[in-house]
Structure 1
Amino acid sequence: MVSATVGVDLRDGGRWTSLHLGGAEWLWAGPGLVSGPRTGRAVFTDAGGLDECFPTVRGTPDHGGLWNQVWTDDGEWDAVRWDDVVLRRRMNGGTRPDAAPLAVPRADTGAVWADYELTAPPGYQFVWAAHALLDCAVGASVDVPDKTACRLYPDEGPWVEGDWSSTLSTYGPSDGTAVGAVLVDCPSATVRDRGMALTFELSCPGQPVSTAVWRNLEGFPAGAPYRSLGVEPMLGRVFDLAEAGPGDAAVVPDGGRLTWRLVVSARPA
């Protein structure tokens, strides 16, 4: 079994600070813009790792409303409140929730998994993303199934239908560009880097499950750009909840409880 550990910082928005799989650390340490928790900050600051984006990714609040909140820990579940909803997360533990069938990590890989439970009024709509910034080398690639629908996000204006081509899927040399994309109804994506394959798998039956990608080749931010590669399993089909059309946002069902599971596994490529 490949070694598998995950670290989180509950004081810093519940951010995943470490994802060690297959003998490698996969999460990027960030551009060095901030040290210590971002609690109370009004403007999102990139700290690397994996931020829990909820109830939106882009728009208001930018990167959601959880990254600057302190989470609590009851010994099994981490929890955070946003307005009148509560999001809970359990890492690598407990019995499988019985509310819905959930993904099971394969036995021949190293894996970590996170179970989520959202308690909110029935009909509550949201977008959630596990905003993972990865420490990958030039030439890494993001593989998804053929013919996956893609929504590309230009610097300004609404998203446009696009093609997730081999050019976009490669984390190439710096060229001054930055592009965001949502791979619609795509619950699984694999990052191939330096002889290893890192796979994200998200399960939430009955909800829109996609994968977002952020490929920054020193095209962002203006004035002090850096490189970053984000692979973001998400509930929803858009970055900004305010832009969601029919079926583009996750919806809390009758009963006021929604659960999902994220599995991240590594294996030799």
Structure 2
Amino acid sequence: MVTDLPIAARTDPAHGGRWTSLRAGDREWLWTRPDPARSTVRPGDAFVDAGGLEECVPTVRGIPDHGDAWSRPWRREGDTEILHSPDFELRRRVESGPATLRARYELHADPGYRLIWAAHALLDVTPAARLAAPHATPTRLFPEAAELLAHPWPASAHHLTGPWPAPHGLRLDRLGPDDGTAVGAILTDCASVTVIDGPDTLTLSLRTDADVPVSVALWRNLRGFPAPTPYRSIGVEPMLGSVFDLAEAGPGDAATVPPGGTLRWELDITATSTRPPGPTRPLV
């Protein structure tokens, strides 16, 4: 029997607003990689990968790497967490319900401000896990995929597009086993995906009333990155935009703040399981 699970999150406003836990029933879905350097970062520092879910804005790759939110302290006002950046203010409210966790976002900036945002969720999944998305979703590959393709990468291309789940013959829906590769892809015009890992599922769905591109990024690092000591990390990342690097965004590839100066969106996360229920441990 499929059971909808209560799901709850924990965040760390003092250290970049990172989500440090996403628990459904007795399963922790977020992969974490504690690094003491994370506690002392300042804007402009090199990215410190501590796992969890990072709020990447206004870019994912590029400058600043992983955006401007992860290196700045957030503050709490009631049930809202707030980030102040030189170019924008981001407000986030995470609400846990009996079957759905909803994160509500508001970004305030000058009208016309362009950005990429991604919920950069690194998931703790087994080598048998897979990612389910609508068949034939246009999926962009980026240059690190070049060595995995059967044909040469065009020298002038920022990305190549093909249908999910195997754009240009590269099968991406399987999230393991580790094979020493690392590849990023973006499922464009895709608002919802589901991670299936044995008896458990995690569904991430994005919604906005604004006229902005909605996508899901995949970072499938099967111990192929970084050199010289690679580790495994699987990112499934609902996003506003359809490229990783804002500097490479063409027309229609980035979100744009509307005339009122406020961009709003919502991320819904649900989980199910066919396993017999176990004890639910409280978040501490």
| Both structures adopt the same fold (TM-score exceeding 0.5) | yes
Deviation at 1:151, TM superposition (A): 0.4
Tell me the CA shift for residue 36 of structure 1: 5.1
Q: Which residue of 2 aligns with 1:131?
A: 120
In the alignment, is residue 219 of structure 1 matched against residue 221 of structure 2?
Answer: no
Q: Which of structures 1 and 2 has the bigger CA Rg?
A: 2
CA RMSD of aligned residues (A): 1.8
Count of matched residue positions in the alignment of Structure 1 and Structure 2 = 254
Work out whether residues 116 and 240 of structure 2, in 8 Å CA contact, stay in contact via their aligned partners in 1.
yes
> Given residue 68 of structure 2, which amino acid in structure 1 is its aligned partner?
G
Name the residue aligned to 1:72.
Answer: 75
Q: Displacement, 1:165?
A: 2.5
Counterparts of 1:89 and 1:213, CA distance in 2: 23
Rounded Cα–Cα distance in structure 2 between residues aligned with 1:143 and 1:84: 36
Who is 2:281 aligned against? none
Asked if 2 retains the 8 angstrom alpha-carbon contact of 1:21 and 1:110, the reply is: no
Q: Distance in 2 between matches of 1:251 and 1:122?
A: 8
Q: Whose helix proportion is higher, 1 or 2?
A: 2
Aligned residue type for 2:161: E
Out of 119, 126, 131, the position equivalent to 2:108 is: 119
Q: Shift in Å at residue 222 of structure 1?
A: 1.2
Question: Match of 1:200?
Answer: 204
Deviation at 1:202, TM superposition (A): 0.3
Give 1:149's aligned residue: 138
Match of 1:253 among 254, 258, 271: 258
The Cα shift of 1:35 comes to 5.7
Counterpart Cα distance in 2 of 1:60 and 1:38:
20
Distance in 1, Cα, partners of 2:40 & 2:22: 20
TM-score by length of 2: 0.85
CA distance in 2, matches of 1:84, 1:165: 37
Contact preservation (8 Å) 1:210, 1:233: yes
Shift of 1:21: 1.1
- In the alignment, what sits opposite 1:263? 268
| Structure 2: 5+ residue stretches without partners | 147-156, 275-284
Could you tell me which amino acid in structure 1 is paired with residue 246 of structure 2?
L
Partner of 2:149: none
Matches for 1:34-113 after TM superposition, within 5 Å: 34=36, 37-40=39-42, 42-92=45-95, 110-113=99-102
SS of residue in 2 equivalent to 1:11? helix
Partner of 1:24: 27
Report % sequence identity.
50
* Alignment partners' CA distance in 1, 2:139 and 2:36: 33
Instruction: Supply the AA of the counterpart residue of 2:259.
Output: D
Check if 1:12 corresponds to 2:12. Answer: no
- 2:40 and 2:70 map into 1 onto residues whose CA distance is 7
- How far, CA to CA, are the matches of 1:210 and 1:18 in structure 2? 23
Q: CA deviation at 1:38?
A: 4.7
